[in-house]
Amino acid sequence: MATCPQGHASGDDEYCDVCGTQMGGTARPAAEPQPAPAAPGAETCPVCQTPRAGQFCEVCGHDYSGTGVLPPGPANGVRWEAVATSDRAYYEKVIAEGGPDASVVTFPPYCPERSFGLYGEQVRIGRRSKARNLAPEIDLTGPPEDPGVSHLHAVLLSQPDGSWMLVDPGSANGTQVNGRTLKVNVPVPVSAGDRIHLGAWTVITIREGTP
């Protein structure tokens, strides 16, 4: 095992496993400069605290107009997240409608929030399936596991302007956005603050922020 110039034991002979220093003795590149602090009273981005310089934050792409649409390009980055948890009111509505498994589906006593970053051209929502070799990006396998969520339940599709569309490819129990049921294979726009209900008790909230 090699030893880096800072004295750390490293399994990598090019860069230290601990501090990242080049094993040849060259220090790591300096960190990228951070935005200058805002002047007293100046408006800052509510997401990353960068001083405001226009409609969109130069660092994270936050939209000060509140439309929930980010501009194209690197600024929109990964500043969108989907936060999944349980919704008691939705569960009671599903049970009241008397689905085929209503008598055996129970509401979880504890369901922590799970945050998933929205990356790439599409983000699948569902539960893992070894038989189908399926590992969705928003994996609701649990615990706790919502039995009403299909293995491939819905898909978020990124748009050129930085926004997202949601489509239900034909889930067994359907998908709702802000209380409206989606038609199969008909994409609908979603933005910050929208609530996606699926399964027996799952709600996914779209947020603007760092996952």
Q: Is 104 exposed, middle or buried (0-12, 13-18, 19+ CB in 10 A)?
A: exposed
Q: Is residue 25 part of a domain?
A: no
Token code pair at residue 42: 């100046």
pLDDT of residue 2: 72
What's the rounded Cα separation, in Å, for the pair 53 and 138?
34
Dihedral pair phi/psi, residue 126, rounded to 5°? 170, -150
Range list of H helices, the chain: 88-96
pLDDT of residue 103: 76
Residue range of the domain that includes 174: 80-208
- 116 by DSSP, 3-state: which? strand
Q: Which helix (H) or strand (E) holds 124?
A: strand 122-126
Tens digit of each residue's pLDDT (9 = 90 or more) over 98-137: 866 777 889 999 999 999 999 899 999 999 998 888 999 9
Mean pLDDT taken over the chain:
80
Position 133: which residue type?
A: N
pLDDT of residue 4: 73
Q: Is residue 167 part of a domain?
A: yes
Output the domain CATH number for residue 184: 2.60.200.20
Q: Is residue 59 part of a domain?
A: no
Q: Is residue 128 part of a domain?
A: yes
Q: Is residue 70 part of a domain?
A: no
Residues of the chain with pLDDT under 50: 26-33, 67-78
Q: Is residue 156 part of a domain?
A: yes
Residue ranges of E strands in 7-110? 9-10, 80-86
Q: Is residue 130 part of a domain?
A: yes
The number of folded domains in the chain is: 1
Q: Is residue 27 part of a domain?
A: no
